[in-house]
Structure formats: structure tokens, C-alpha cells
């Protein structure tokens, strides 16, 4: 059987196992088209309310989950050398995947030229409306790279916790967990405490998953109903380039990575994480999907030791889908304005997209905000950004849903490779979906 056929079948099996989430997704698309926000504002409000409630409920467990997962992940690795090895591999694989993503994005955007002729679709009225919002955003981003990097170091971890700022939280927890692993037996009470917190948050995640179908339904219906079909007419070429780019990640880059660096079967992995990918699409948030990504990987054979270390870091730092979309978006805008880019500037855009995507939080719309960093980096003026941004704003939710599926899948790909290399996959379980426990 052809390799792409195997992937398709694995996905279909994954969907069959949790057909109700898929049904929610499809019904969401249908209701979103049947009840456009302009004609049915009340229906849109109801969808948005239910969807937001679902996101809030999942996000409720994310911070305790990330903290407890990293603490037990690092303390279960114990040995410093092994930890350093996992850490290095993780950074290496996340970097390869993201570099591949921006290269694909840049090549597609340069050759398919989605921005040509797009200027006439950029709606000056919407631009006017968004002017205030965008100016504040740009002002925020003006605290350029050095400041952004400085902000990642938590001066007060409790303040970062209260803001839900994931990167500073993770940096603090990493240092704290490494210290815990260095102090010997005395660490037991704290590690046991976090083991209980982790087990309890996973239990809550199981309960939350009963709400997945209505939650995904409402989220998808809410975003589709706010688009309006006419909007797609002006932007189809941009969306096509984004979709092709992400598809290449799924059917070429991830399978290649798995093949070169491990013996993990890509179709088995995709089958194992189908629920997480559907939730990523619905929520457009890697952080909100994290509890489910961990559940899927652990229940299907990847050891908790690897999952609890690699997945929380990936959900925050590894955003290959976002980097790909940011690269295409910026080149698209320059094409729309008729600005010719030299090869050097394109490389610069790709590099900035890697930085911008990894500083962006795993929440909906974060990638759109950090695009300002890329634009600033290549010296585009705020006026150009305002009009262009309005265009990207209008369609961001849709591309966000797509790019988040890649962000989440690549986290699982890297976790699977590292687990394979460290003999931390139970292949009997992983390769036999009939033995695997259901998520819901």
C-alpha cells in the first residue's frame, strides 16, 4: 500500500475512534456557513460563548499540567548526561523542523506569488477600523528583540504565573526542576507532590474530553460564521499557498524526520494523535491542546518520561506551522505592495520568522501579533503594516486553525523520535491500535 494511503487510513481510523469530535467539527463548519454572523448575530454569540467556555475549561489545567509535567519529567530522567542529551536532541529536531518550514514557506511564496494583484482586495474601510488596534500592537512590538528576549527571564515567577506567561514560567520550572534533581532524596516530598498534581490534572483532562465534541463544534461554527464567504474570494491564493506549505510539512517533512532519525511509523503516530490534531484545529491553541497531546502520546505507548519533558516545551517553543505562515504572510504583503525582495532579505524574513514564532505563545492569534516583529525587522513602515495587517487579521483565525495542527503534530513527532532513540516507546502498544485505550 502506498505510503500516503497508509497515512490517510490511519487518520480515518483515528477519526472513527472519536467520530463524535469529527462530527462536531463538520457540523461546526456547516452551521458556520448556514448562520453567517452578519445575518445571525445571536447564533454567532452563542457559538462564541460555548467555544470560549470550552477553551477556558481546558486552559484551567494547562499551568498545573506544564509545571508538574516538567518537574516529574526532569526528575525521572535524573541523570544529568541523559537530560542534556534529550535537551540537545529536542532543540536540534525542533530547529530542523522549523528551518524546513520557513524554507518551504519562502520557496512557495516566491514561486507562487500569492500577493500579486492582492492589493485591490485590501479593504481600506476595515483598515481604518483596525488602525488603533494595530498601532498599539506595533508600539508593543517596538520593544525590539533584545527587550523581548529580556522579558523571557522571569524576575518574579509568581507574577509570570498570574499572567499565564508560558515561556518565563517554563524557564523558571526548568531551573527549579534541574535543581530538584541535584539535591538527592530530600527532593521526594516535592516530587511526590507534583506527581499527584500531574495525575489529578490528567484525570480532569479525561473529564474535559467529554466536552470536546460540543466545544469543537461551537469553536469551528463561531470562526466560520464570522468569515463570510466573500472574503475567501480575494484571498484564495494566499490560503492555497499556506495549505500547500502545511501539507508538505505533514506528508514530506515529518515522515522524513521519523524515517531518518527513528523507526517510528508515521501512520501509527498520526493515528495515535488524531484527537489532539482535531482539538488543535478547533481551539487554534497548542497550549490548550497540550493536555490532550500528552494523553494521546502516553496512552498509546510513548513513555511519560519523554512526553512530560518534550511536549510542554514543544507546545510553547516549537511553532513550525506558525513560522511557515509568518514567512508566507510577510512575503505576500511585500508582493501586494510591489516591493521586490532580494534573496538576502528573504533569508532575513525566514530567520526572523523562526525567532518570532518561538517567542509566541501557544494561544489563538499569537502568531499574528509576532508578525509585526518580522515586518519591523525588514524595515516596513507602520502605515504599510496597518493596511496589510487588516487583511491578515480578517483571515487569521482560519490560518491559525491550520497552523496549530502542524505545531501540535511536530511536537509529537519530536517526542516520538526522542522516545524511540532512548528505548522509551512501548512498540507493542504503539503499533497495535486495537490494544490502545480510548481517550474518551
Backbone angles phi, psi at 342, to 5 degrees: -80, 165
Which is closer to ligand ASP, CB of 122 or CB of 366?
366
Q: For the window 283-322, what string marks contact with ligand ASP as x by the rule CB under 6 A?
A: -xxx--------------------------------x--x
Binding window for ligand ASP (CB under 6 A); candidates: 10-18, 127-135, 162-170, 362-370: 362-370
Grid cell in block for residue 356: 518570532
> Vertex 402, ends 329 and 258: CA angle to 5°?
105
Smallest gap from residue 155 Cβ to ligand ASP (A): 25
Grid cell in block for residue 296: 494521546
Smallest gap from residue 79 Cβ to ligand ASP (A): 32
Q: Does the protein bind ligand ASP through residue 282 (CB under 6 A)?
A: no
Smallest gap from residue 286 Cβ to ligand ASP (A): 3
Grid cell in block for residue 317: 517553543
Smallest gap from residue 104 Cβ to ligand ASP (A): 16
Which of 291, 364, 377, 388 touches ligand ASP by CB under 6 A? 364
Q: Does the protein bind ligand ASP through residue 266 (CB under 6 A)?
A: no
Which is closer to ligand ASP, CB of 180 or CB of 311?
311
Q: Does the protein bind ligand ASP through residue 245 (CB under 6 A)?
A: no
From residue 361, alpha-carbon distances to 25, 89, 160, 284, 326 in Å are 24, 22, 13, 11, 14
Smallest gap from residue 190 Cβ to ligand ASP (A): 30
132: exposed, middle or buried (Cβ count in 10 Å: 0-12, 13-18, 19+): exposed
Question: Which residues in the 118-157 window bind ligand ASP by CB under 6 A?
Answer: none
Binding window for ligand ASP (CB under 6 A); candidates: 22-30, 251-259, 355-363, 427-435: 355-363
Q: Which residues have C-beta within 8 Å of that of residue 19, sequence separation ≥ 6?
A: none
Q: How far is Cα 432 from Cα 255, in angstroms, rounded to an integer?
A: 19
Element (H, E) at 252: none
| Residue 276 DSSP code | H
Smallest gap from residue 335 Cβ to ligand ASP (A): 21
Residue 169 backbone class (left: φ over 0; alpha: ψ -120 to 50; beta: rest): alpha
How many alpha carbons lie under 13 Å from residue 336 in its C-beta half-sphere?
26
Q: Does the protein bind ligand ASP through residue 407 (CB under 6 A)?
A: yes
Which is closer to ligand ASP, CB of 101 or CB of 258?
101
In the complex, residue closest to ligand ASP by CB: 367
Q: Does the protein bind ligand ASP through residue 360 (CB under 6 A)?
A: yes
Which is closer to ligand ASP, CB of 298 or CB of 411?
411
Question: Which residues in the 367-406 window bind ligand ASP by CB under 6 A?
Answer: 367, 400, 403-404
Backbone angles phi, psi at 3, to 5 degrees: -65, -40
Find the distance separating the first CA and the last CA of the chain, reported in whole Å: 30
Q: For every residue of 323-355, which 3-state class applies, written as one string? A: HHHHHHHHHHHHHHCCCCCCHHHHHHHHHHHHH
Q: Interface with ligand ASP by CB under 6 A: which residues?
A: 284-286, 319, 322, 360, 362-367, 400, 403-404, 407
Amino acid at each position: 500500500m502506498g505510503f500516503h494511503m497508509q497515512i490517510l487510513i490511519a487518520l480515518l481510523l483515528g477519526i472513527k475512534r472519536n467520530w463524535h469530535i469529527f462530527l462536531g467539527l463538520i457540523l461546526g463548519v456547516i452551521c458556520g456557513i448556514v448562520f453567517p454572523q452578519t445575518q445571525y448575530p445571536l447564533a454567532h454569540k452563542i457559538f462564541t460563548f460555548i467555544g470560549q467556555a470550552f477553551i477556558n475549561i481546558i486552559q484551567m489545567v494547562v499551568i498545573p499540567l506544564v509545571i508538574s509535567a516538567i518537574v516529574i519529567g526532569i526528575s525521572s530522567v535524573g541523570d544529568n548526561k541523559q537530560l542534556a542529551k534529550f535537551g540537545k536532541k529536542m532543540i536540534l529536531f525542533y530547529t530542523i523542523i522549523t528551518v524546513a518550514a520557513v524554507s518551504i514557506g519562502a520557496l512557495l511564496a516566491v514561486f507562487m506569488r500569492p500577493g500579486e494583484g492582492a492589493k485591490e482586495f485590501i479593504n481600506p474601510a476595515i483598515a481604518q477600523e483596525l488602525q488603533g488596534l494595530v498601532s498599539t500592537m506595533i508600539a508593543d512590538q517596538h520593544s525590539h528583540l533584545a527587550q523581548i528576549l529580556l522579558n523571557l527571564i522571569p524576575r518574579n515567577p509568581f507574577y509570570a504565573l498570574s499572567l499565564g506567561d508560558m515561556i518565563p514560567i517554563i524557564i523558571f520550572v526548568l531551573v527549579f526542576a534541574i535543581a530538584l534533581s541535584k539535591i538527592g532524596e530530600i527532593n521526594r516530598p516535592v516530587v511526590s507532590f507534583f506527581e499527584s498534581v500531574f495525575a489529578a490534572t490528567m484525570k480532569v483532562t479525561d473529564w474535559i474530553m467529554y466536552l470536546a465534541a460540543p466545544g469543537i463544534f461551537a469553536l469551528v461554527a463561531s470562526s466560520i460564521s464570522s468569515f463570510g464567504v466573500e472574503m475567501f474570494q480575494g484571498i484564495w491564493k494566499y490560503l492555497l499557498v499556506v495549505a500547500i506549505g502545511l501539507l508538505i510539512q505533514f506528508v514530506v517533512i515529518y515522515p522524513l524526520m521519523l524515517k531518518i532519525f527513528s523507526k517510528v511509523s508515521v501512520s501509527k503516530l498520526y493515528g495515535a494523535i488524531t484527537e489532539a490534531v482535531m482539538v488543535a484545529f478547533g481551539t487554534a491553541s497548542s497550549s490548550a491542546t497540550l493536555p490532550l497531546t500528552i494523553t494521546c502520546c502516553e496512552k498509546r505507548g510513548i513513555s511519560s518520561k519523554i512526553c512530560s519533558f518534550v511536549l510542554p516545551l514543544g507546545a510553547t517553543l516549537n511553532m513550525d506551522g506558525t513560522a511557515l505562515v509568518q514567512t508566507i504572510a510577510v512575503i505576500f504583503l511585500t508582493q501586494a505592495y510591489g516591493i521586490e525582495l532580494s534573496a538576502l532579505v528573504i533569508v532575513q524574513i525566514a530567520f526572523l520568522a523562526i525567532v518570532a514564532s518561538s517567542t509566541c505563545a501557544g494561544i489563538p492569534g499569537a502568531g499574528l501579533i509576532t508578525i509585526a516583529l518580522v515586518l519591523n525587522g525588514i524595515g516596513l513602515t507602520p502605515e504599510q503594516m496597518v493596511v496589510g495587517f487588516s487583511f491578515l487579521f480578517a483571515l487569521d483565525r482560519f490560518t491559525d486553525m491550520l497552523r496549530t495542527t502542524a505545531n501540535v503534530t511536530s511536537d509529537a513527532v519530536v517526542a516520538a523520535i526522542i522516545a524511540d532513540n532512548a528505548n522509551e516507546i512501548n512498540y507493542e502498544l504503539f503499533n497495535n491500535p486495537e490494544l490502545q485505550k480510548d481517550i474518551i
